[in-house]
Amino acid sequence: MLDSLDLSIVIVTWNSKDEIGNCLRSITDNTKDLSYEIVIVDNDSKDKTVDEIRSIGEENFHRIKLILNKTNTGYTKASNQGISSASGKFILLLNPDTVIEDDSINILLEKLVSDSKTGAAAPQLLNPDGSIQSSCRKFPDFWDMFCEFTFLSSIFPRSKTFSRWKMNYFSHNEECSVDQPMAAALMIKKDVLNKTGNFDERFKMFFNDVDLCKRICNSGYNIIFYPKSKIIHEKGVSIYKDREKMIRVWNEDCISYFRKYSSNKLLLLWLDISLKVSGFFRILLYKIRK
């Protein structure tokens, strides 16, 4: 067993009343032999999220450290608050819409401890029906965005050329080194974060995990996808609560990512225009379907 408080689980909530209870109970039910803390940062929830957290705390959750923001600071800033308040040598970033399976956290932690070259590790994510959720991606480049806008990635979903970014050709059933696993459940060594820095707060909600993983890899560490660890994830719960706003934020964060890593003004202009056009039609389609 590891020393006391080797693990800090960081969760950001916003109107997560319907999800957070199952998430917290699954943690306590499946981490019997592990010493840990849970740092929850609530982004000014307007529902009963905080009441739900406190009621669970009264039951058996002495490990919870609850931070209440007076405004919705966004996922990135709130995550950094949680990481900065964490005491563990390992940080598990966890979405409130996740449910821990069996010894998944212990399995992930043991994998990360066993390899000094590995800076972060991610579990296999499952949909609520038990099917495998695609959760790993390559670092995106302009070609990948072109394939998205022209639907080549959808026409040829198994192609390593046209669908490289989203890795639809990958079964998500075998252990391997990956660029960027979804941060819905991502365990990172704290000393690695001390070297790379936490999330870049220029990203409001999206691409913060892409950027962080890129900095981890650029620092010489591997990121491991480890399917022996399994966590259920109800994908998109928070995003669909304000879909129109999230489309705009995604576009803003996407162009911010490319501006950070590219100085090609012509391609950046093309991407900016393409995002605006595609964003308009995505919002329009959402309103029609609503």
Helix axis angle for 49-60 and 17-29, nearest 10°, is 20
Strand (E) or helix (H) holding 233: strand 222-233
Architecture of domain 1-135+172-237: Alpha-Beta Complex (3.90)
Strand (E) or helix (H) holding 117: none
**DSSP SS3 for 116:** coil
Q: What is the pLDDT of residues 149-201, one digit of tens each?
A: 999 999 999 999 999 999 999 999 999 999 999 999 999 999 999 999 999 99
Give the tokens for residue 29.
Answer: 């039910």
User: Where do the structural domains in the chain lie, given as residue ranges?
Assistant: 1-135+172-237, 139-169, 238-290
Give dist(CA 196, CA 189) in Å, integer.
11
pTM above 0.85, yes or no: yes
Q: What is the pLDDT of residues 206-239, one digit of tens each?
A: 999 999 999 999 999 999 999 999 999 997 656 6
